[in-house]
Structure 1
Amino acid sequence: MQRLTPLLLIGAALAWLTPAQAQTPDYIIQSNSAPVRSLTQPAQAPRAAPASAPRSAPMSAAPQASAPVAKPAPARGKVRIGVILPAESSALGEAAAVVRNGIEAAAQVDQNAELVNVDATSDNVVDRYREAVAEGVNVVIGPLSRGSIAQLAPSVTVPTLALNSIGREVAPNPKLYSLSLIVEGEARQLAQLMRDDGRTNPLLIVGGDALSQRLAAAYSAQWKALTGKPVNTLALDPANLLAALQASGQADSLALALDAAQAAKLKAALTPDMAVYGTSQLNAGGNQPELAGIRFVDMPWFLMPDHPAVRRYPRPAAALTTQTERLYALGIDAYRLAVQLAGARANAGLRLDGVTGDLRLGRDRVFDRQLPAGVMGGNALQ
């Protein structure tokens, strides 16, 4: 283990994250088609830059074998946060680097915690966790993968914020919490948004990829829970939009479980008065005139850049893909929640006006994300 200095970056070569990797159930981002070499550059300063965070002192030399190992004391008034991520993993190392960059950016701004870097995979996460706690860590961010979470859960002894969903196979532990970017949460909010907008007969159009299938399943379940009726669903054939256009004539709105390219082709063939809805899956960043008018949900990091809780934190120096930048934002909120968890005596009602959403501690110690809605082609909040 080594202490982190602000914006410290791993030196391992970073691989591209492919859409196929991103859509596996164990993965926490949606899609990404660009490398993250921008992480080799320092983050941009926020608009109102705070004082620079002090660099952590270098670690002292290892003690003699016969000498007792003293527990390091945290800096006065600061929480000591262990950041347990798979930095050297070929599959998750790149995601870990982005998340860690976000954590370090938040730490540099807020300056109320000391970070301790712990590189761990599912093979050694329990041992690394115990070592970190023994050395004085009093709250943990991580792990990142569901496999590592399941391995670690029975051994959690300090407040630990896992950065993925927690499955039923994970042993319950009152000190284990979860913050994730899973698409199922967005799909449920999309169904609620359409219901609140007065839509009564939506058509759900579904792509063939795994991500769209997951999104559609969650949307369908939520729509039935809200209305008592199943939602009409149509699988999109990329080679033939005629069936979708004919089916849309019987609906008062469309819910898209599609990627941005599929949505653009469909949107171009629709009448202008058709109400169309989607999730952050459609937001690829930049100007997307082909999707103009689609109502969608996404995190404040993109939809509310001038909100005080968002503009406080720096953006990456070089542009990441929109999907990859979501992990950076996740790191920012993970840091802020970790500080709260370390000092909370009673966690019920814990809430954060986060850059990834309005975060509230819900059932089974899972943080629910409530997202704002915007309109494609301007991101005007409504």
Structure 2
Amino acid sequence: MNTHALRYWIIVVVALSVLSAGCSKVKEWTRQQHKDGDRIDGLQYQDGDRVGVLLPTGNDKYREPALAIMAGIEDARKDSNIKTKIIIEKSRSNVEEQYRSLAAQKPKVIIGPLLPDNVDKVAGKIGLVPTLLLNKTDINGKFYQFALSPKDEAATVAQLFSGVAKNPIVVYPERPGWETRLAKKFESEFKSKFGRTKSTKVRKVKYDDKRRIVPSLQYIKEADAVFLIADADNAPHIYKRLLKKVPENTPIVATSHVTDKKQGSYDPELKDLYFVETPWLLDEKMREAFKGEKTRKYSSGDLARLYAMGIDAYHLGPGVVAGKSPVRLKDGKTGNIELRKGSIKRRLAFGRFKKKGKRVGPVRVRSEKLEEAIR
């Protein structure tokens, strides 16, 4: 399964970011780690609680992603001081029957299923057992949804820029694709937060298959913030051209797709570019503080994002059981999370590229306006 397919069948992640080329006032972002009871407003599991898990570990096509999430759930339990019991059903063809079988074992909470079709099948049949679905559904019901979506990146960048930029531009390809969906999400989120005045408008700048920026020179010269949507192959070329045209110190933030290469193999042309990313992939201190058996295996790549999702899903459980709305998870491995029945908001971390193709993070921009926007 290729990277983009993996991102979209599960609707996988990331997002928060910012700042620009040439900005020197950057400092590593350090977090205070919280144990289980502090994560969900003091709520926690009790010894002996059963946690039901419904994942497609028996499906050859999705086995590896499912195992990554399962590893995160199991390691989160082991890292906790509370002795819960995990009961597992391997979702295959008859997911409704397996959900009923899991519910009959009286778990405190059920985590799953994962695949979109299975989520839709189960969503309309959820009864008394509190359930945390691991994907989004349009079906209404008494459950919570926890999904990792690339659109989260666009939403968080828009949130950050909304308190700062009056002439933001979004840069993406002419051809329709996942980039277009992210551009639309960025525009709609920005408008909803700061687009009430006619003087504030998101301007669109596109590039063609030969990596040439379609004539929009005036927009670029007037830009006070840039959201760059490009993959790892196109990003260095587009970023280099933008640097020559945007005003000095203009914030430039890219999607996590620019990191779709092995660490250390990034193009040096990306130096000083900021990008959205899942905290778990950026924060070495976070990984060191978490005592998971599979941490080393899942420290980079898309499977690492899913491992982090499993950890957060486990810790969200007590809030789901309590029926809280919203359920908040501070300093989660996939970001700061707020769940409501039927919706999810996540705020993620951001990193930057340094010399020789290396990247660092999490980082935070020391700017008064951006600090206010982040808060």
TM-score between the two structures when normalised by the length of structure 1: 0.73
> Which residue of structure 2 lines up, in the alignment, with residue 366 of structure 1?
343
Distance across 2 between alignment mates of 1:300 and 1:20: 20
Q: Which residue of 2 aligns with 1:155?
A: 125
Do the aligned partners of residues 135 and 181 (structure 1) sit closer, same or farther apart at CA in structure 2, a change above 3 Å counting? same
Aligned equivalent of 1:329: 308
Partner of 2:77: 107
Distance in 2, matches of 1:120 and 1:132, equals 11
Deviation at 1:90, TM superposition (A): 3.6
**Residue in 2 that maps onto 1:241:** 212
- 1:201 maps to 2:167: yes
Matching residue within 181, 189, 192 for 1:214 = 181
Q: Distance in 2 between matches of 1:360 and 1:136?
A: 26
Residue aligning to 1:180: 147
Mapped contact 1:300–1:310 kept (Cα < 8 A) = no
Q: What secondary structure is seen at the aligned counterpart in 2 of 1:332?
A: helix
Structure 2 Cα separation of the partners of residues 146 and 206 of structure 1: 27
- Secondary structure of residue in 1 paired with 2:89: strand
Which residues in structure 2 correspond to 1:1-382 (within 5 Å)? 17-22=1-6, 24=8, 26-29=9-12, 77-112=47-82, 113-121=84-92, 123-157=93-127, 158-166=129-137, 168=138, 170=139, 172-174=140-142, 176-196=143-163, 198-207=164-173, 208=175, 210-225=177-192, 226-228=194-196, 229-243=200-214, 246=217, 248-271=220-243, 273=248, 274-284=250-260, 286-287=263-264, 288=266, 289-307=268-286, 311-314=289-292, 316-318=295-297, 321-342=300-321, 344=322, 346-353=323-330, 354-362=332-340, 364-377=341-354, 378-379=360-361, 380-382=363-365
| Equivalent-residue separation in structure 2 for 1:277 and 1:183 (angstroms) | 14
CA deviation after TM superposition for structure 1 residue 22, in Å? 2.5
CA separation of 1:95 and 1:372: change in aligned 2, threshold 3 A: same
**Pair 1:323–1:270, CA change in 2 (3 A):** same
Deviation string, structure 1 residues 1-42 (Cα, Å, up to 9, x no partner):
xxxxxxxxxxxxxxxx21352254x432369xxxxxxxxxxx
Query: Structure 1 residues 159 and 244, CA, compared in 2 at 3 Å: closer, same or farther?
Result: farther
| 1:153-204, Cα deviation, whole Å (9 max, x unpaired) | 12212111111122x2x1x222x111111122221111121223x2221221
- Aligned partner of residue 284 in structure 2, secondary structure: coil
Give the superposition deviation at 1:102.
1.1
The answer to whether the 8 Å contact 2:205/2:216 transfers is no
Deviation at 1:321, TM superposition (A): 4.5
Unaligned ranges ≥5, structure 2: 15-32, 36-44, 355-359, 366-375
Distance 2:229 2:242 in 1: 16
Deviations 1:237-279 (A, max 9, x none): 1314243684523423321121122112212233363431123
Structure 1 residue ranges without an equivalent (≥5): 1-16, 32-47, 51-74
Equivalent residues of 2:71, 2:307 under 8 A apart: yes
Q: Which has the larger radius of gyration?
A: 1
Aligned pairs, number: 314
Name the stretch that deviates more: 99-108 or 224-233.
224-233
What percentage of aligned pairs have identical amino acids? 26
Q: Secondary structure at the match of 2:180?
A: helix
Supply the AA of the counterpart residue of 2:72: G
Residues 80 and 114 in structure 1, CA contact (< 8 A), matched pair in contact too? yes
In the aligned structure 1, how far is the partner of 2:116 from the partner of 2:13? 16
How big is the shift at 1:142? 0.5
Q: Write the distance in 2 (CA, Å) between the matches of 1:98 and 1:203.
A: 36
How far, CA to CA, are the matches of 1:213 and 1:242 in structure 2? Answer: 15
Shift of 1:118: 0.7
Task: Tell whether the 8 Å contact from 1:310 to 1:355 is kept in structure 2 after alignment.
Answer: no
Cα distance in 2 for partners of 1:357, 1:149 equals: 23
Tell me how large the CA RMSD over aligned residues is. 2.9
Separation in structure 1 between the aligned mates of residue 136 and residue 279 of structure 2, nearest angstrom: 21
Q: Distance in 1 between matches of 2:183 and 2:243?
A: 23
Amino acid at match of 1:159: P
Structure scoring higher RCO (CA < 8 A, sep ≥ 6) equals 2
* AA matched with 2:252: V
How far off is 1:214 after superposition?
A: 2.0
Q: In the alignment, is the contact (CA less than 8 A) between 2:280 and 2:308 conserved in 1? A: yes
TM-score of the two chains, using structure 2 as the length reference = 0.75
Distance 1:182 1:368 in 2: 10
2:182 is matched by which residue type in structure 1? L
